[in-house]
Amino acid sequence: MGNRFIVIEGNIGAGKTTLATKLADEMKAKLVLETFEDNPFLPKFYKDQKRYAFPLELSFLAARYQQLKSDLKQGDLFNSIIIADYYLMKSFIFAKITLSDDEFRLYRQFFDLIRSFSAKPDILFYIHREVSVLKNNIMNRGRVYEKDLDTEYLSSVSRGYFNYFKEVRDFPVVVVDATEADFQNKKYYREFAELLNRKFPCGVTNIKVI
Ligand SMILES: Nc1ncnc2c1ncn2[C@@H]1O[C@H](COP(=O)(O)OP(=O)(O)OP(=O)(O)O)[C@@H](O)[C@H]1O
């Protein structure tokens, strides 16, 4: 039967969207991309994190739930391959970093409700890049509100993902060390694409793309 629901994850600026789009194109798969450009709280959050974190996290959670619900209908999962550039847990990982303890407790109640409706991936690939590389990518793409994104924030997002992966038992998580690999380059892209033909055990496997 193979992998039907494939997730490409990674820190901010890891190159998830480009890679997921290329793969979906090649595999004639349905592409599910995270939408964030229309989120009015995101630019505000980067200016004043304390004040806007809670509405930001709730709005992301609501938007992602809506999207996954409509894009991952049961029928779709049987009929076609789906490639997404995020997994619902991303919301949880970010919220744990951005919210205060009491806000997070409240957030968690909503998250647990929503989580019970969401599909589990058949496989999740996490593109790992060093923070200095992420910072470079973020600067080069030039989204104004991300210009002051600091190293500590990016490091805490990476730690958040790795802590979560330690708990995953029911699907394979492939951590792809791609610090030296640009997937715009055909050689690296092919090397990554070949991983999709391999079988991985549940839990974490570390791979380096060279
Ligand atoms: N739950 C969240 N809480 C706070 N910020 C978030 C959350 N989800 C997304 N963001 C922000 O939205 C923006 C887009 O995030 P994301 O990492 O998905 O895209 P990206 O950096 O364009 O990815 P890539 O370059 O890997 O394709 C980033 O500024 C990110 O920090």
pLDDT, tens only, 152-197 = 999 999 999 999 999 999 999 999 999 888 898 999 999 999 999 9
CB 14 within 8 A of CB 134: yes
Q: Which residues are catalytic?
A: 85
**Residues framing ligand 1 (Cβ under 6 A):** 10, 12-17, 34, 36, 42, 56-57, 60, 91, 94, 98, 146
Residue that the structure tokens 């991309």 belong to: 33
ipTM of the prediction:
0.92
60: nearest Cα among 68, 48, 50? 68
CB 68 within 8 A of CB 32: yes
Answer yes or no: is pLDDT of 29 > 70. yes
Residue that the structure tokens 């890679």 belong to: 19
- What's the average model confidence in pLDDT over 98-115? 95
- What's the average model confidence in pLDDT over 49-55? 96
How is residue 73 written in tokens? 């209908």
Answer yes or no: is pLDDT of 44 > 60. yes
d(CA 76, CA 151): 39
Task: Confirm whether residue 97 is marked as ligand binding.
Answer: no
- What's the average model confidence in pLDDT over 30-56? 92
Q: Which domain holds residue 190?
A: 5-34+42-208
Confidence (pLDDT) at 117: 77
Task: Kindly give the distance from the C-alpha atom of residue 1 to the centroid of ligand 1, in angstroms, as a whole number.
Answer: 32
Confidence (pLDDT) at 73: 66
Protein residue whose Cα sits closest to atom 28 of ligand 1: 12
Give alpha helix (H) positions in the chain: 16-27, 41-47, 49-71, 74-79, 89-98, 101-115, 131-141, 151-167, 186-195
- Residue 107 sits in a domain whose CATH number is 3.40.50.300
pLDDT, tens only, 133-150 = 999 999 998 888 898 899
CB 65 within 8 A of CB 32: no
In the chain, how many domains are there?
1
Beta-carbon contacts of 67 under 8 Å, excluding residues fewer than 6 positions away, are: 32, 34, 35
3-state secondary structure of 201: coil
Protein residue whose Cα sits closest to atom 3 of ligand 1: 94
d(CA 154, CA 131): 6
**Nearest atom in ligand 1 to 91's CA:** 1
Protein residue whose Cα sits closest to atom 1 of ligand 1: 91
